[in-house]
Amino acid sequence: MGLEDYLGKMQAQSKAVFGGKRKDLSDYLEKHELVNYFDNQTISEERKKDMKNSLEKKLDSEMEKYESELNGVFRKGAAKSTMGLAVLNDLYGFVSKAPISNITGLGYALFALKSAAEVPANIKYLKKSHDWYGELQHWALKPLRYIAPVIGPALESGSFERMVRKGIIKRVKKSFIQTHGKYTPKKEMINARLSRPIREAIAV
């Protein structure tokens, strides 16, 4: 993968994970995570159409399953307003030239409020998805966001939803591969098999 492809992938991933539009998630999966299936000359257009339908169904099913996590009005409202206040607090810290801008009681209180508002949703999500990796990453990054001024609260806002979206992408991809089989491009497969020792390739 060249640098351009890598940056393109990162951009599409950010768009899907931060923006959260269903179409962006679908495009990211199709054009980046599952590109070997959809941008493949050896697979017929008809088969690609079937695979696309299958992908859409899987994505719909996952998004429906995590609807309350993605669009919980109360939690979202609380998180957005507290994080908005935290950003304003940090900005005020800069404007007022405080030595360490975000180490204020209000900043911590707002973060704590936001985190507390998230806990039930986190427990519910973990029970449904068993996404331990996502949860660990989510909570491990919290202290860093608490420390970073301005950008920290901004990143913290919506971090739970981003974790859920990342989990959705991961599970849809896994389910798609389980349904349609692991695909390895022909050239890579041939090279891998040619480099095998003869001992492994022959019947004893």
Partner 1 sequence: MEINKIKLHPAMTCEDGLSAIEISKKLKEAKDRRIFVVGENEKLLGIITTTDLVYKALAENIEISAKDIMTKEVKYIDVAESLEKAIEVMNDIKSFSCPVVEDGKIIGLISYHDIINHVVNPGE
Closer residue to partner 1 (CB): 1 or 202? 202
Report if residue 2 touches partner 1, rule: CB under 8 A: no
Residue numbers 169-198 binding partner 1 by CB under 8 A: 189-190, 193-198
One symbol per residue from 119 to 138: x for binding partner 1 (CB under 8 A), - otherwise; what is it?
--------------------
- B/e letters for 68-90, b = 16+ CB within 10 Å, e = fewer, are ebbebeebbebbeebbebbbebb
DSSP-derived letter for residue 184 is -
Report if residue 100 touches partner 1, rule: CB under 8 A: no
Report if residue 199 touches partner 1, rule: CB under 8 A: yes
Q: Report how many residues bind partner 1 under the rule CB under 8 A.
A: 12
The maximal CA–CA distance of the chain, rounded, in angstroms, is 79
The helix (H) or strand (E) run that includes residue 79 is helix 73-95
Least distance (Å) between residue 147 CB and partner 1: 51
Least distance (Å) between residue 45 CB and partner 1: 24
Closer residue to partner 1 (CB): 22 or 193? 193
* Chain mean position to CA 51: 22
Q: Tokens standing for 167?
A: 């989990």
